[in-house]
Amino acid sequence: MGQNVEIRQMKELGDILLLDINRSLTGQDGQAISPAHPGTGMPGLLATKLFDLGLGIDHVYVLQNQVTIRRPSGWDESAKGQVTEATRLFLRYYPDAPGADGAPGEPAGVDEATEAEAAAE
């Protein structure tokens, strides 16, 4: 469930990575988020996912469809790839990768519940 977030543009400026995405995550007010000052709502959830990557990201600012991410050690291809993948999959709720529980679009564990119910009958 959910759709991938499309990253329309990405620009690196020193320690800053700017993402232009196809979803608006805030209203007209932006939200500055750091590990010490967690955000709220969708911007806060995205920032938490980015902080949890363990890349040393120390600041995220979200304003509508713009996501600004600071990593004091700069950006390499691996770090950019992890951030873009986490952002791209941010709104996905159910797995649809080969080998994941359930079929695409189904919550994980649906097959197990169905089999258990059938065995009980």
Q: What is the pLDDT of residues 14-44, one digit of tens each?
A: 999 999 999 999 989 999 999 999 999 999 9
pTM of the complete model = 0.74
Please list the alpha-helical segments (H only) found in the chain: 41-51, 77-88, 110-120
Residue 55 has pLDDT above 70, yes or no: yes
Outline where DSSP puts E strands in 22-101.
31-33, 59-63, 66-70
Q: Residue 93 has what pLDDT?
A: 72
What are the structural domains of the chain?
7-90 (3.30.1370.70), 94-121 (no CATH)
Q: Residue 3 has what pLDDT?
A: 86
